[in-house]
Amino acid sequence: MKSFRLKSVLVVLFLSTVLFSCSNDDDKAPSKATTKNAFASEVKGPATGKVNDELSYEVTFTADNACGVFNQFTEATIGTEKGLQVEVKYPSEVCTQQVPTPQKAVYKFKSAVKGTFDIKFRKSDTEFITTKVVID
């Protein structure tokens, strides 16, 4: 009887190990998107504003292909000048839509002090598009 009980326990352990240790081959590794910087082609927005008011600027850019989408604004430096640039996210899969169209992203600006500010967006490797805003 002990032998039968021991064999039963071993069979149950073996079957439970086999059932729970099977791997799922259908699982796909999460795709890793890549990011690249795109140049701004146009910036539209107000030239004046009030202290602590949020101003919105519409930035037009073109991604490398039609699958690229806006990710964020990042800092850019050309020589000693600092400004902003558009970061675009591309999926890791092959993009079948090759013809890109201009896209728009909104940049929010808010100042706690009065003054004249230059908002610069990278237009090329050597220059920025500069928008002046007067806060009073």
What phi and psi, each to the nearest 5 degrees, are found at residue 65? -145, 175
- Interval 55-82: pLDDT, tens: 999 999 999 999 999 999 999 999 999 9
Domain that holds residue 86: 34-135
Classify residue 15: in a domain, yes or no.
no
Measure Cα distances from 53 to 18, 77, 120, 134 in Å: 64, 27, 19, 12
Residue 71 included in any domain: yes
Report the candidate in 31, 30, 41 with the shortest Cα–Cα distance to residue 90.
Answer: 31
Query: Is 59 within the bounds of a domain?
Result: yes
Q: What is the pTM of this model?
A: 0.75
Domain total of the chain? 1
Asked whether residue 3 is assigned to any structural domain, the reply reads no
Residue 66 covered by a domain: yes
Residue 13 lies in a domain: no
46 lies in some domain:
yes
Rg over CA atoms, the chain: 28
Q: Tell me whether residue 67 is in a domain.
A: yes
Give the per-residue pLDDT at 99: 87
Q: Is the pLDDT of residue 4 over 80?
A: no
CA dihedral 36, 85, 38, 129 (to 10 degrees): -170
Q: Are 28 and 34 in contact (CB under 8 A)?
A: no
Question: Nearest 5 degrees, angle CA 117-CA 78-CA 131?
Answer: 25
pLDDT score of 101: 94
